[in-house]
């Protein structure tokens, strides 16, 4: 990524289709081995589009894109949750995905730090995340970023029972303070909404 520009910003409503396509590509690159084929087949730009059309303009949701050379390369979605995985929990990280070509370069860490900073700025104190039990790479990533394992679980998606587990961050303001977060050298133009 040497020489490439890296920018974090909220996607525009007109970018919903680009983010739906990015979401699908990330699934295909990362989930083929761990998500049933039939479920993968339901995950298309068309089925994802309504979620993006709803999420981007919803300012209750934190939606942040990572753009490499102005092209969407990853994203995080976080915010409140009606489903409490843990007593006293208030925030949830709904999804974080990065294209294979840009994994391992610190973009995921930055996206989580931004999500934490946003939630803390809204008065939040904690954030959970659900991850497929077999997604060892993401589990290691969350553990590296200080998330604590809470429990194993199971959820249903389009008729498929998937094993997952819940992690929590209780230290939004201390462990990952946005003001002290190190961002990649090439970053510029950060904004939350």
Contact set with ligand COA (CB under 6 A): 26, 30, 96-98, 103-109, 131, 135, 137-138, 140-141, 144
The answer to whether 73 touches 11, Cβ cutoff 8 Å, is no
The answer to whether 115 touches 127, Cβ cutoff 8 Å, is yes
**Separation between Cα atoms, residue 95 and residue 110, nearest integer Å:** 14
The residue written with tokens 């370069």 in the block is 105
Which lies closer to ligand COA via its Cβ, residue 57 or residue 73?
Answer: 73
Which lies closer to ligand COA via its Cβ, residue 48 or residue 105?
Answer: 105
Q: CB of 119: closest distance to ligand COA in angstroms?
A: 17
**Separation between Cα atoms, residue 4 and residue 65, nearest integer Å:** 16
Q: CB of 105: closest distance to ligand COA in angstroms?
A: 5
Q: Phi first, then psi: give them for residue 109, nearest 5 degrees.
A: -60, -45
- Residues contacting residue 37 through CB under 8 Å, at least 6 positions apart: none
Strand partners, 66: 8, 74
Task: Quote the Cα angle for 132-127-59, to 5°.
Answer: 105
Q: CB of 67: closest distance to ligand COA in angstroms?
A: 14
**Separation between Cα atoms, residue 74 and residue 104, nearest integer Å:** 12
Q: CB of 188: closest distance to ligand COA in angstroms?
A: 18
Which lies closer to ligand COA via its Cβ, residue 26 or residue 117?
Answer: 26
**Separation between Cα atoms, residue 1 and residue 69, nearest integer Å:** 10
Which lies closer to ligand COA via its Cβ, residue 57 or residue 95?
Answer: 95
Q: CB of 32: closest distance to ligand COA in angstroms?
A: 11
Q: CB of 73: closest distance to ligand COA in angstroms?
A: 10
Indicate the length of the chain as a whole number. 193
Which lies closer to ligand COA via its Cβ, residue 6 or residue 172?
Answer: 6
Which lies closer to ligand COA via its Cβ, residue 56 or residue 165?
Answer: 165
Residue nearest to ligand COA (CB): 108
């Amino acid at each position: 990524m040497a020489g490439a520009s890296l920018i974090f910003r909220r996607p525009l409503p007109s970018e919903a289709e680009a983010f739906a396509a990015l979401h699908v590509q990330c699934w295909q690159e990362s989930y083929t081995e761990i998500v049933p084929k039939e479920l993968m087949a339901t995950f298309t730009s068309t089925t994802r589009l309504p979620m993006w059309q709803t999420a981007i303009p919803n300012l209750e949701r934190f939606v942040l894109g990572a753009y490499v050379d102005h092209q969407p390369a990853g994203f995080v979605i976080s915010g409140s949750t009606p489903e409490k995985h843990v007593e006293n929990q208030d925030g949830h990280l709904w999804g974080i995905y990065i294209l294979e070509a840009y994994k391992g370069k610190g973009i995921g860490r930055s996206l989580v730090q931004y999500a934490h900073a946003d939630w803390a700025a809204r008065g939040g104190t904690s954030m959970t995340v659900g991850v497929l039990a077999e997604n060892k790479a993401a589990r290691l990533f969350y553990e590296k970023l200080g998330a604590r394992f809470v429990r194993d679980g199971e959820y249903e998606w389009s008729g498929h029972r998937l094993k997952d587990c819940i992690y929590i961050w209780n230290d939004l303001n201390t462990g990952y303070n946005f003001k002290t977060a190190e961002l990649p050298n090439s970053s510029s133009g950060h904004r939350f909404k």
